Amino acid sequence: MYRNLVAGPALALALGLTGCSIGISQDSSSPHSEFKNVAVTFKDAYDTAIRQSNACLRSTDNAYRVVTDLNESAQSGVVRVLAPYSDNEMARVDLKAASPKTTDVRIVMWGKGTWDAAAMQAMQNAIYYGLVSCSAYMPLDPRPKVKPSRDLPG
């Protein structure tokens, strides 16, 4: 009888975990953004991605880890946010110097909770403007071509 009491919950937990995958998907369906030749030096972009990840992507209890990998000779680096108790990537920022004054950046987020499309936009703005913020306040670039539906003075 004791064996059945232990096996039941363990089986339910195992089945629940297999159906609930967390982290960036392997099939490229997670939200991502790429921008080339950003007018920011590689080192500044890399440092900003680390600061942004530590400030905004670790959750309120800081359970998520920020792991960095810098290759100074290749002027490239990766900043990853990993889930606790696993190496599932919740966020990933790949950076590579395009020139001494510009950087190519690719951002991928899980797409849920703290790591949604808004977090991706905030990361992009942080790198572009050099200011860490957990929300995106900058206007979209380019601005939408559709006029607002409300009447505005001309």
Pull the structure tokens for residue 141: 């670039």
Record the pTM.
0.77
- Which pLDDT score, from 0 to 100, does residue 28 have? 78
Residue spans of beta strands (DSSP E) within 2-141: 32-38, 65-71, 76-82, 89-99, 102-109
* Nearest C-alpha neighbor of 86 from the set 17, 10, 7: 17
Name every residue whose Cβ is closer than 8 Å to that of residue 36 and which is 6 or more positions away in sequence.
98, 104
Report all structural domains of the chain as residue ranges with CATH numbers, in order of start: 23-129 (3.30.160)
Q: What are the tens digits of pLDDT across the range 31-79?
A: 999 999 999 999 999 999 999 999 999 988 999 999 999 999 999 999 9
* Cβ atoms of residues 77 and 48 within 8 Å: no
Better-scored residue on pLDDT, 144 or 130? 130
